[in-house]
């Protein structure tokens, strides 16, 4: 009998890659999607017929219980979240409801409906905020600086509480920044690679960026969903930092992307200063030694290969779109 998995946030970057990953391993994959007409499913269209989708929401515990009963999952991956720090400051109560209380509702539903299932909480590096040390490990004190990160810190703590108090096989993956061609263009990594591809194709666009010296520990999303799966294959539930272990600046990302596209940064990019975002985190670099030792995990795709991969993907995507538009005009 095929193992069953339920993924919240299945229509996002991580959820869609995780669905691909699990289907390749013979899983029966279920996904939770919101009833909202704003829910976008483009990232899972290519596997839509292979998925079993359930309408529900982390704000509605009854819908979570219904989805769990219908899916009867062996593994649950909670990846749904409000992720962008500016967005969480615009709607701090919603961020708390989704990122924090939503995870607790799901844990409580799991405890009631399928307590033998293994539970993965998608945590994030932002729970460390202005970290007291660098690099950060699983024992680094939490110091979140935005509503979304504070709610994630609460969910992280509740995952541990349900593990220790109720005996659930519940683990958190503290995921550092990870990106891919499926990342939204509002994120700086994808914005840079999209513009590099667009300019190479001759589109009349210009890239505007703020602080080029901001640094992040970036990895490839596919590597990170592999780590999520490995976490739930362990006999004992634990928390793990999932990171590349190296920080790179926006300037480095920009230079690699434009060099790969054969473009001059000076000719096509406007830079300037931008006001610091409220609660901006600093010096977030993860120490994934535990993941390497216990899970046998290490990222396969390095920084420069990731940037080049994304430029190539955006170039192919834009060229295809331009070709379709050209056909439509004829």
Residue 330, pLDDT > 60, answer no
Q: Are residues 138 and 173 in the same domain?
A: yes
Share of the chain above pLDDT 70, in %: 94
Give pLDDT, residue 299: 97
270 in the same domain as 208? yes
Q: Verify that 65 and 144 share a domain, yes or no.
A: yes
Q: Is the pLDDT of residue 326 over 90?
A: no
Whole-structure pTM value: 0.94
33 within some domain: yes
| Number of independent structural domains in the chain | 2
Q: Is residue 161 part of a domain?
A: yes
Residue 282 Cα distances to 95, 125, 211, angstroms: 21, 10, 13
User: What is the per-residue pLDDT for 329?
Assistant: 40
pLDDT surpassing 70 at residue 162: yes
Asked if 106 and 146 sit in the same domain, the reply is: yes
CATH of the domain at 204: 3.90.25.10
Same domain, 139 and 224: yes
User: Averaged over 282-297, what is the pLDDT?
Assistant: 95
35 and 165 share one domain: yes
Query: In sequence order, which ranges of 29-186 are alpha helices (DSSP H)?
Result: 61-71, 85-90, 92-95, 102-113, 147-166
Same domain, 196 and 153: no
| Mean pLDDT in residue range 57-61 | 95
Quick one: average pLDDT of 247-270?
97
- The CATH number of whichever domain residue 235 belongs to comes to 3.40.50.720
- Stretch 133-138: mean pLDDT, rounded? 97
Pairwise pLDDT comparison (91 vs 237), residue with the higher score: 237
Q: Please state, rounded to an integer, the average pLDDT across all residues of the chain.
A: 94
The whole-number pLDDT of residue 275 equals 57
Q: Are residues 61 and 144 in the same domain?
A: yes
Contact between 274 and 213 (Cβ < 8 Å): no
The model's confidence at residue 328, banded by pLDDT at 50, 70 and 90, is very low
Q: The tokens of 162 are what?
A: 């349900």
Region for residue 273 given its phi and psi (left: phi exceeds 0; alpha: psi -120 to 50; beta: otherwise): beta
Does 133 lie in the same domain as 32?
yes
Mean pLDDT of 115-128: 97
Amino acid 87: pLDDT: 66
> Within a domain: residue 294?
no
pLDDT in tens, 15-55: 999 999 999 999 999 999 988 766 789 999 999 999 999 99
Q: Poorest-confidence range of 80-84, 98-102, 208-212?
A: 80-84
Range of the domain at 139: 4-179+219-242
Q: Are residues 113 and 37 in the same domain?
A: yes
Mean pLDDT value across residues 80-86: 77
Does position 243 have pLDDT exceeding 90, yes or no?
yes
Q: What's the confidence (pLDDT) of residue 279? A: 54
The span from the CA of 133 to the CA of 136, in Å, is: 6
Q: Is the pLDDT of residue 68 over 90?
A: yes
- Same domain as 121, residue 102: yes
Residues 265, 268: Cα–Cα separation, whole Å: 5
* Residues 235 and 262 placed together within one structural domain of the fold: no
DSSP classification of residue 57: B
Average pLDDT over residues 50-68: 96
- DSSP H helices, the chain, are 13-24, 61-71, 85-90, 92-95, 102-113, 147-166, 188-200, 221-232, 250-260, 265-268, 289-290, 303-329
């Amino acid at each position: 009998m095929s193992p069953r998995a339920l993924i919240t946030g299945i229509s996002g970057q991580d959820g869609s890659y995780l669905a691909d990953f699990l289907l390749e391993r013979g899983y029966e994959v279920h996904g939770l999607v919101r009833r909202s007409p704003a829910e976008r499913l483009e990232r899972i269209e290519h596997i839509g017929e292979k998925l079993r989708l359930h309408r529900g929401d982390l704000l509605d515990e009854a819908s979570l219980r219904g989805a769990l009963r219908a899916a009867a999952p062996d593994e649950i991956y909670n990846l749904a979240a409000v992720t962008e720090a500016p967005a969480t400051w615009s709607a701090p109560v919603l961020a708390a409801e989704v990122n924090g209380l939503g995870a607790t509702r799901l844990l409580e539903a799991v405890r009631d409906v399928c307590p033998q299932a293994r539970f993965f909480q998608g945590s994030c590096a932002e729970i460390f905020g202005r970290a007291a040390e660098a690099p950060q490990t699983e024992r680094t004190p939490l110091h979140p600086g935005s509503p979304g990160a504070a709610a994630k810190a609460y969910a992280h703590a509740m995952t541990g509480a349900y593990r220790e108090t109720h005996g659930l096989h519940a683990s958190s993956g503290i995921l550092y920044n990870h990106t891919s061609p499926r990342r939204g263009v509002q994120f700086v990594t994808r914005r840079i690679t999209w513009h590099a591809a667009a300019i190479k194709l001759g589109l009349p666009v210009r890239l505007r960026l703020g602080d080029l010296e901001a640094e992040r520990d970036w990895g490839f999303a596919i590597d990170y969903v592999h780590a999520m799966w490995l976490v739930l294959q362990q006999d004992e539930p634990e928390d793990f930092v999932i990171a590349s272990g190296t920080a790179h600046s926006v300037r480095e990302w920009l230079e690699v992307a434009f060099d790969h596209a054969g473009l001059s940064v000076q000719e096509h990019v406007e830079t300037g200063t931008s006001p610091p975002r409220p609660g901006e985190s600093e010096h977030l670099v993860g120490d994934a030694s535990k993941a390497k030792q216990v899970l046998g995990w290490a990222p396969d795709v390095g920084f420069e290969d990731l940037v080049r991969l994304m430029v190539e993907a955006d170039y192919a995507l834009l060229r295809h779109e331009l070709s379709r538009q050209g056909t439509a005009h004829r």
